[in-house]
Structure 1
């Protein structure tokens, strides 16, 4: 081969390998929340070789998981790894932990933080795996944790991740975002984002690292509201064109809000923004999409989900997202439409007709233009 030693390593590949950094994984990870997503993340961490503690408030559920290696209430289809210790005791759950994933419902976040405060040594990184903006204060969930648990790096884990598919080991990708301090910039492999990414990585689960938790959090909160909008229009009888328009313009609403809060627009085009939005707006597995479809078909809210009291994140997020956007002067017409239907009793068809008849705008930000829409007074039919 022209004198080339075929056994010598590829110099390009060798050079690339030498540039790769080696992060030290966390050995013990605590997952707070025994719902479907918390259980799935416990499986992800266990597959990656971690010692996992899965905590929930209900002793009966933790005992059932311990006895059967199945979460009968949320993921009965999945046999849980033996490396997962299920417990309702916070002392047991947090003793010796090196990283914490909070996967409890966002409205309970302050209470959860207060409960774990006596058990959690300073400096342990906390990754939020719940999504939303605190109602009333307009705070991002990371800001809530920082208020309640000062002295901890706080980040977020988010992406296009249905719990069952993740738990079953279907190839899945997500973003792990933490702020990068000056020390992290000097040694990025030892940053919380890098270490947690390595800690959760396996053949089936692929994390990406970000230093923009604001952008990641906004994507996670807003996408649920846009998914309800997509469901409403689907239920009302519209099809792919309509959903594609809502997803695309919904992504822009996410970008504007993220940027206004100090996040980056490009983060919203990644897994935690556009990726999660596309998934949530494309499947009835999403409770947000499902609620929207039922409402679009004319089902009364109290009769949705066969009358069961199903918690839908986007329903709560619609209030907190719109309140925050109004407060800081960001226009989010799709989220406003969902809020108006869900919480102000507006007619769905009229509301979305008005959304489509808004003044004609330019799409590139380099153009500033607004034109009167000729069908402002007509309805989508």
Structure 2
């Protein structure tokens, strides 16, 4: 203890007596925080289970021991761990303290708190088994506790990767802890997320379908923007994206049609249909579509073409949702609106499809004199080469 006190006195640059220093260390200390999200997360440094890859295990161990810093580590101990002149001493004579009623060993940390994002990218590359991806929510938490260094661009690439490999449940873990990491799904990403939930819904039995409906509700809670009012405790979040709402409406209406004896499914379908109606003004029924003129307009034309592709992908789901909801809510107050807007949206989808069909040959045509070779021609060329 005396050695620790001496080291702390040198680190802090004070000449306190051992008795006074002991009193300071036992009294409530200021909390070290680096981000707004870290202030809310007072849990211990993440712990990682064993993975299928030894190199990944070693990387996670390195992150935990040498980079991740508890969000509420007292500043005195933080200085002790981050000052370079103390590193040799900590390596030869480790200092253990009690943090959250658990032993925590101080190890040398970077002088400027910050965990390289490249290490997260490397961890993603090393994940090969499905069970490996379960470490991602704790990885995100560790980064946010330390310094919040993960950019939204990187996180969104990671989420798209999880969607591609079918790890929707890992996304749900991230979503449920979003308040602690201040993570928000932006609209385009939320659309991909909802499409992944919809795809899983189509492959599931009743229990999986019900779970998907709950997951969709969780997603809605963290998408969109905050609405602040003057009423106390009236801060609410809402999603006004029609494609995200349409995806959940499709899931709820499909479940209501499959399980007609479950009365509350009809009520939930009506609830999300009302939210979609409130957000309907976000649908652009007159999108700006660039017409092809010559090769000079090709760049703008391609952007317009791909935007139209994305709109069709989303609005097709919304159109299906409106048609299904029309069957579920037949005779209700929403029935006329569902009827009218499904017809209106069908016209938009048809217009976009016509646009794509017209411009695809112009954008992706091959130069004159070059046509796609047949299999027989390629085989003959291969024989000649041999």
| Structure with the largest fraction of strand | 1
| Structure with the largest fraction of helix | 2
Q: Report which structure shows greater RCO (CA 8 Å, sep ≥6).
A: 1
The verdict on a shared fold, with TM-score over 0.5 as the criterion, is no
Larger Rg: 2
